[in-house]
Amino acid sequence: MTLPAVADCVFCKIVAGQIPCFKLLEDDATIAFMDINPVNPGHALAVAKGHWPTVDVIPAEVLAAVATTAQRIAKAVMAKLRPDGVNLMQANGPGAGQSVPHLHIHIIPRRPGDDLLFNWQPRAVERAEIEAVWHRLKAGL
């Protein structure tokens, strides 16, 4: 497969070796490296080598490969850094906080009291509201 690339994409430049990174591992479809703006020590990224911006457009087998790479990094984080927990986080679109429009999964070690929030406020909703959205989503599957 010829991988799609975008000239001004920072992750495509890392894949091409035009920007250095603290590489953790690499295979045919993915690369993993340290996040240079970490939210916690050990924050790493699992990245598709090809430029697909978001989860709705990336081929399923490439997404699976990125998930497998994220799992390998998470295992190493858990074994070597022994955090209290690990979040895997993947954002799609600026409204979700995606800063680089090239699909990636964050591997984020967690520590007690790290005060890292995902801006998540559960709210009470009526069953009818959930059911209405459920119908809309099912129509898209």
**What's the rounded Cα separation, in Å, for the pair 106 and 138?**
28
* φ/ψ of residue 48, rounded to 5: -65, 140
Within 10 Å of residue 98's Cβ, how many Cβ atoms? 16
Q: Does 52 bind Zn ion (CB under 5 A)?
A: no
DSSP, residue by residue, 3-18: PP--TT-HHHHHHTTS
Instruction: Name the catalytic one among 43, 104, 106, 135.
Output: 104
Q: Does 47 bind Zn ion (CB under 5 A)?
A: no
Residue 32 near residue 25 (C-beta atoms within 8 A):
yes
Q: Does 49 bind Zn ion (CB under 5 A)?
A: no
Q: Does 51 bind Zn ion (CB under 5 A)?
A: yes
Minimum gap (Å) between residue 98 Cβ and Zn ion? 12
Cβ nearer to Zn ion, comparing 8 with 126? 8
- Which range binds Zn ion by CB under 5 A, 45-53, 73-81, 115-123, 130-138? 45-53
Residues of this chain that interact with Zn ion (CB under 5 A) are 6, 9, 11-12, 51, 102
